[in-house]
Amino acid sequence: MNRESLEVVLKNKINPILRVHDGFAIIVGDEWVNNKLLIVLEFHGGCFGCPLSFSGTLRMIEDIFKKELEMENIEVANIEML
């Protein structure tokens, strides 16, 4: 999986949802760890520091990446958690 594919999903599917709350995310890292693609996001605007960016929103984003990229072995993390 290349970074460009991840950026397309972020731009077209994920950030429009986050914009509803005056927020957005950027990809700050992606690497394979234990047979999973780990995508690390940094949240901005209304999403920065929001408790949901550590739980529910993060899981929703993970599900969108899995669906759009047709891959189950994806994990998404908030850089603030690392």
**pLDDT, tens digit, for every residue of 1-47?**
799 999 999 999 999 999 999 999 999 999 999 999 999 999 999 98
Q: And the tokens for 58? A: 């993060």
Task: Give phi and psi for 22, each to the nearest 5.
Answer: 55, 35
Task: Judge contact between 77 and 55, C-beta under 8 A.
Answer: no
Task: Judge contact between 29 and 38, C-beta under 8 A.
Answer: yes
Neighbouring residues of 57: CB distance < 8 A, sequence distance ≥ 6:
18, 47, 50
- pTM for this model (two decimals): 0.94
Q: Which CATH superfamily is domain 3-81 in?
A: Fe-S cluster assembly (FSCA) (3.30.300.130)
Domain spans of the chain? 3-81
**pLDDT, tens digit, for every residue of 64-81?**
999 999 999 999 999 998
